[in-house]
Structure 1
Amino acid sequence: MALSPRLCPPSGASLAGLLVLGVASGAQSAAADTGGWQYGAYLDVSYADDLGGDRTIEWRSKLTTRRLNAFDPNMGMMYLYKPPDESSRWGLELGLQGGDDMDAQKPSKSQNPLPGADVLSVFSRANVSYLADIGNGLKLQAGLMNSFIGFESMYAGQNPNYTRSWMADYSPYFLIGAGAEYAVLGNLSAGLYLLSDYDYLAFVGDQPKYGAQLKWRPQAGWTLTQNLFFGPEQKETALSYWRGFSDTILEWRSDEILLAMAYDIGTQKLATSGLQTVWMGSAIWSRWHIDGPWSLALRPEIYWDPDGQLTGLEQFISAVTLTSEYRTTLVGTSAATVRMEFRHDTSIGPEGGFFNAAGNQPLLVPGQNLLFFALILTYDENQ
Structure 2
Amino acid sequence: MERVVGEKEFLDPARKNGVGRSSHWVIRVCGLTIGFALVVPVYAVESQSSGQVSDEPVKPLSAPAGAPETATSDWHYGAYFDLSYVVNFNFPENHLWRSRATASRHNELAPNMGYVYVRKDAGETSRWGMEFGLQGGYDSKDFAYLQGEPKVDGADTWRHLHRANVSYLAPVGNGLTVTAGLFNSLIGYESLYAKDNNNYTRSWIADYTPYMMFGVNAKYPVNERLTVAAFVINGYFHLSRPNDQPSYGGQWAYKITPRLTATQTIYWGPDQNKTSLEFWRLYGNHILEWKGDDLTLAASYDIGTESIADQPGSPRTFAMGGNLVAKWHVSGPWSLAVRPEFYWDRNGRWTGQEQFVKAITSTVEYKFPYRWTTTMVRLEYRYDESTGVGGGFFKGGEVSPGISGLASTQQLLLLGILWSFDSP
| TM-score, length-scaled by structure 1 | 0.92
- Mapped to 2, the partners of 1:123 and 1:4 lie a distance apart of 20
- Mapped to 2, the partners of 1:185 and 1:16 lie a distance apart of 29
- Mapped to 1, the partners of 2:298 and 2:32 lie a distance apart of 36
Indicate the residue corresponding to 1:286 in structure 2: 326
Q: Which moved more, 1:97-106 or 1:297-306?
A: 97-106
- Mapped to 2, the partners of 1:283 and 1:4 lie a distance apart of 16
Change beyond 3 A, Cα 1:109–1:62? closer
Structure 1 gap segments, 5+ residues each: 19-24
Indicate the residue corresponding to 2:63 in structure 1: none
Q: 1:8–1:172: 8 Å Cα contact kept in structure 2?
A: no
Residue identity matched to 2:409: G
Indicate the residue corresponding to 1:340 in structure 2: 379
Q: 1:48–1:67: 8 Å Cα contact kept in structure 2?
A: yes
Residue 352 (1) aligns with residue 391 (2): yes
Residue 260 (1) aligns with residue 303 (2): no
Indicate the residue corresponding to 1:5 in structure 2: 7
Residue identity matched to 2:373: S
Aligned with 2:57 (options 29, 52, 57): 29
Aligned with 1:88 (options 94, 102, 126): 126
- Give deviations 1:217-266, integer Å, cap 9, x for gaps: 02111110000100111111111111000000000001211100000000
Q: Which moved more, 1:53-62 or 1:215-224?
A: 53-62
Indicate the residue corresponding to 2:420 in structure 1: 378
Q: 3-state SS of the aligned residue for 1:111?
A: coil
Q: 3-state SS of the aligned residue for 1:202?
A: coil
Q: 3-state SS of the aligned residue for 1:171?
A: coil
Structure 2 gap segments, 5+ residues each: 12-28, 38-52, 60-69
Indicate the residue corresponding to 1:224 in structure 2: 262
- Mapped to 2, the partners of 1:243 and 1:110 lie a distance apart of 16
Q: 3-state SS of the aligned residue for 1:167?
A: helix
- Mapped to 1, the partners of 2:148 and 2:290 lie a distance apart of 42
- Give deviations 1:33-85, integer Å, cap 9, x for gaps: 25211111100010000123474520011110001111110000111112211
Q: 3-state SS of the aligned residue for 1:57?
A: coil
Aligned with 2:336 (options 278, 296, 299): 296
Q: What is the Cα deviation at residue 350 of structure 1?
A: 0.4
- Mapped to 1, the partners of 2:233 and 2:160 lie a distance apart of 20
- Mapped to 1, the partners of 2:337 and 2:423 lie a distance apart of 27
Taking the TM superposition and a 5 Å limit, the aligned residue runs for 1:116-265 are 116-265=154-303
Residue 63 (1) aligns with residue 101 (2): yes
Residue identity matched to 1:295: S
- Give deviations 1:91-148, integer Å, cap 9, x for gaps: 1111110000011225599532112222221111100000000101111110001001
Q: 1:250–1:260: 8 Å Cα contact kept in structure 2?
A: yes
Larger RCO: 1 or 2 (CA < 8 Å, sep 6+): 2
Aligned with 1:326 (options 357, 366, 382): 366
- Mapped to 1, the partners of 2:343 and 2:381 lie a distance apart of 19
Residue identity matched to 1:339: R
Change beyond 3 A, Cα 1:278–1:109? closer
- Mapped to 2, the partners of 1:68 and 1:363 lie a distance apart of 16
Q: 2:252–2:264: 8 Å Cα contact kept in structure 1?
A: yes
- Mapped to 2, the partners of 1:321 and 1:294 lie a distance apart of 17
| Cα RMSD for the two superposed structures | 2.3
Residue identity matched to 2:218: A
Q: 1:26–1:155: 8 Å Cα contact kept in structure 2?
A: no
Identity of aligned residues (%): 41
Change beyond 3 A, Cα 1:159–1:4? same
Q: 1:26–1:40: 8 Å Cα contact kept in structure 2?
A: no
Q: 1:55–1:69: 8 Å Cα contact kept in structure 2?
A: no
Q: What is the Cα deviation at residue 28 of structure 1?
A: 3.4
Indicate the residue corresponding to 1:22 in structure 2: none
Q: What is the Cα deviation at residue 360 of structure 1?
A: 6.4
Indicate the residue corresponding to 1:104 in structure 2: 142
Q: 2:335–2:366: 8 Å Cα contact kept in structure 1?
A: yes
| TM-score, length-scaled by structure 2 | 0.83
- Mapped to 2, the partners of 1:106 and 1:84 lie a distance apart of 27
Aligned with 1:15 (options 16, 31, 34): 34
Residue identity matched to 1:304: W
